[in-house]
Structure 1
């Protein structure tokens, strides 16, 4: 019997499903790496291309803006135009942007390359995730796949930091771009042979809703980024944040009245969608901030170089892998609510205890840092898997693009918003006390408090309606 026709059992994938899983998770892992691979290389890029110190952050922001602002739109477009088609378009754009970035000779060209990478992430991330969820029925197989996906999302940020430090120290920051090109080319070659086309039921695109949510998210990310750079009293930042509030409120109103809404209000109001995505937003925003704050601590307080800083996070990556393996089993035993809320509480506790880091960056401090970041990573990945399972459960296959688009948007927005907010807190406290350590401590405590509140809200919000295993919806995707 051909491998494409073998029937999966309740707990075992067919060979074709395994190949599909490897390819889709590989694309997700590569995109996750791209969000952090340049962070440690920013000073080298600045010296090489002539970026001023104040403008270095735009190298990260140029990718984050389109990836956060356009993910929901492209997730819905994948439902309509075809998820495999959107994945391939994203991979082609990633290869082009990475090649341009690796050969860039000026700041403008490099920023344009990062924008292309952000667009690629917005296209490919929800498409790959919805292809994964639509290929596997709700249950242990999907939970296991989402566990691996959560592991790779978390580990990707860590691997990106380590890989970026190694490449920058041994070769050149340009290889942080160029390494994407052969991987994207391999996915473009293999995906048409392995991944079946999949789309939801054809409906008209909600152009007013798409315009409002895209502009609102772009304004939100831009406003928070400006506030982190210029202060929260900046007129430009306040104007962008005000516009974001107006546009996102308009989006909600449009969706409540549209005949074919981009994101139906009844879906957004589902407890699983609402509280699952809140948990995802909190865990991504605050864990990415922890990595940023500890990078600041290691380099400014401990005097570590780029490679040593990256290697200090290896424990985090190893524990993240373990967390991704055990989280699906925990969900099977205790349910989504317990794993999502409990993961956030573990993350909060580990982050709060980082307040114990001293001002010398010695061996004892590094040992404490590795131990606590490893424990925090276990909670973080458990929360990621819990939120992905929760936010995509109980929906028909035709709405998986929307559900995964929302989940991917949560990831992108969270990763984007956390660092500017907590970096501003750390900078303000550092300026007031003259101590980088005091700034890091204050920001870490705020980080832990936000995660603690988020975990409690998720546990309370999902208490009345536990998002455990449901029967799969009858409506299936169109497979071509």
Structure 2
């Protein structure tokens, strides 16, 4: 069964090309389409984390100072988070396949530049261009998925596969980052992205069909400028706060700039005839609380992984390779959970699975407070963080389903742009906030425990808020 997702009328697809009914198994072509889209998202998630362990070696090689090492991550995070909403809307207008392929081409070419970088400037330029390519790939790829697979069990399964692979990609990045850096060089971590991007570029044009809105909306330039500027300011502030502190003048200035720009964006969207982000969509409880739940699970889990890295290496003296292998167990748990989470969503509903996943993750994060110096603490951390991955992955799948359900195809690029912006901001928010909190303690172990305690409290509170918000919405319906 060939899948053609070109939209002929707003919110409708040609009957001849509709996906299989929910009782049918996915065709071979549908599976290949899903594989290509997931492979691209996996590469982006991998790229975000693969440098974590390689940064010290990279700094020595390129003579990048210790104070500027964090720019290896920030240079990617700024454009990848700041331009997601804009590229999601552009994809709705000019074609999701087109934007996906352009983004993938840019991402692959930028990976080549980062691989052969000869100076800090050339490396950071490559990372920034990678982030810009990722900002095009992620929302357009998610929109291609949600317009290819009809809402219901098929889409839930597809989102489950994609969500699990993105979570696994983030974890595998840490594992591979340690292995490749120790066995080869830091350049191999960037070279891996070249190979993956090139492979997807060969297959994607053969499998993906174009999908766009029937009526092209006018691009909301004032809205695009304010939201992109606001997100760039917010991500910059959060990315640098852990190093400079939240009292630093530049951090305060960018937080204020973010608040002003995002407030202006809301005012613009309320008045414009064709907004970049419809406030009507944001008022949907599924969109609002779905994205809140997604940000909660991503921000807290990535922060727990970061704090765990400090604990394993600086307290218990594990090598980068062994540290990566510990988190490989978390990736395995996420992979297994991603296979059955869609069934939980089908049986209990995405709202219950989302809130339940958050609260399970919170309970197990509280269990990490029992860690201490020595082998016993390492084993406790490995077991508990792996089990927490069950709640985390269930919440990831449920949040993607919740945040994109009940919307017509012509709003899927926007919905997935919001969902992926949530992911990027979530990744960026958790680490600087909790690492700054952890740094207030004199020794690493007590600082890590303080950060993990705050992490557990935050995901508990947000899990309860999501449960109440989505529950109240269900009662009104």
Paired residues of 1:357 and 1:365 also in contact (CA < 8 A): yes
Q: Structure 2 vs 1, CA of residues 467 and 301 (structure 1 numbering), >3 Å: closer, same or farther?
A: farther
Counterpart for residue 197 of structure 1: 210
SS in 2 for 1:98: helix
Question: Whole-Å Cα distance in 2 between the matches of residues 38 and 192 of structure 1?
Answer: 29
- 1:221 is displaced (CA, Å) by 0.9
Paired residues of 1:97 and 1:114 also in contact (CA < 8 A): yes
Q: CA RMSD in A?
A: 1.6
- List aligned pairs for 1:271-286, cutoff 5 A: 271-286=285-300
* CA-to-aligned-CA distance 1:141-172 (integer Å, 9 cap, x gap): 10001111111111111101001111001111
Q: Which runs of 5+ in 1 are unaligned?
A: 471-480
Question: Whole-Å Cα distance in 2 between the matches of residues 438 and 74 of structure 1?
Answer: 42
Counterpart for residue 251 of structure 1: 265
Counterpart for residue 144 of structure 2: 131
- 1:189 is displaced (CA, Å) by 2.0
Counterpart for residue 79 of structure 2: 66
SS in 2 for 1:394: coil
TM-score (norm 2): 0.95
- 1:322 is displaced (CA, Å) by 1.3
Counterpart for residue 26 of structure 2: 13
Question: Whole-Å Cα distance in 2 between the matches of residues 388 and 44 of structure 1?
Answer: 36
Q: Structure 2 vs 1, CA of residues 109 and 266 (structure 1 numbering), >3 Å: closer, same or farther?
A: same
Question: Whole-Å Cα distance in 2 between the matches of residues 466 and 317 of structure 1?
Answer: 33
1:153 aligns with 2:161: no
- List aligned pairs for 1:98-109, cutoff 5 A: 98-109=111-122
Question: Whole-Å Cα distance in 2 between the matches of residues 161 and 173 of structure 1?
Answer: 13
Question: Whole-Å Cα distance in 2 between the matches of residues 303 and 187 of structure 1?
Answer: 38
Counterpart for residue 227 of structure 1: 241
Provide the aligned length of Structure 1 versus Structure 2. 463
Q: Identify which of 16, 20, 25 aligns with 2:38.
A: 25
Counterpart for residue 96 of structure 1: 109
* CA-to-aligned-CA distance 1:181-239 (integer Å, 9 cap, x gap): 12212222221211010012311000000111000001111112232211111111111
- List aligned pairs for 1:157-168, cutoff 5 A: 157-168=170-181
Paired residues of 1:350 and 1:372 also in contact (CA < 8 A): yes
Question: Whole-Å Cα distance in 2 between the matches of residues 422 and 442 of structure 1?
Answer: 9
Counterpart for residue 390 of structure 1: 402
- 1:2 is displaced (CA, Å) by 6.8
1:208 aligns with 2:211: no
Q: Identify which of 243, 251, 255 aligns with 1:237.
A: 251
1:454 aligns with 2:462: yes
Question: Whole-Å Cα distance in 1 between the matches of residues 334 and 321 of structure 2?
Answer: 20
Question: Whole-Å Cα distance in 1 between the matches of residues 364 and 60 of structure 2?
Answer: 36
Q: Identify which of 393, 398, 403 aligns with 1:381.
A: 393
- List aligned pairs for 1:379-418, cutoff 5 A: 379-418=391-430
- List aligned pairs for 1:239-388, cutoff 5 A: 239-360=253-374, 362=375, 364-388=376-400
Counterpart for residue 200 of structure 2: 187
Counterpart for residue 124 of structure 2: 111
Question: Whole-Å Cα distance in 1 between the matches of residues 273 and 2 of structure 2?
Answer: 43
- 1:467 is displaced (CA, Å) by 10
Counterpart for residue 46 of structure 1: 59
Paired residues of 2:316 and 2:378 also in contact (CA < 8 A): no
Counterpart for residue 191 of structure 2: 178
- 1:303 is displaced (CA, Å) by 0.6
Paired residues of 2:3 and 2:30 also in contact (CA < 8 A): no
SS in 2 for 1:205: coil
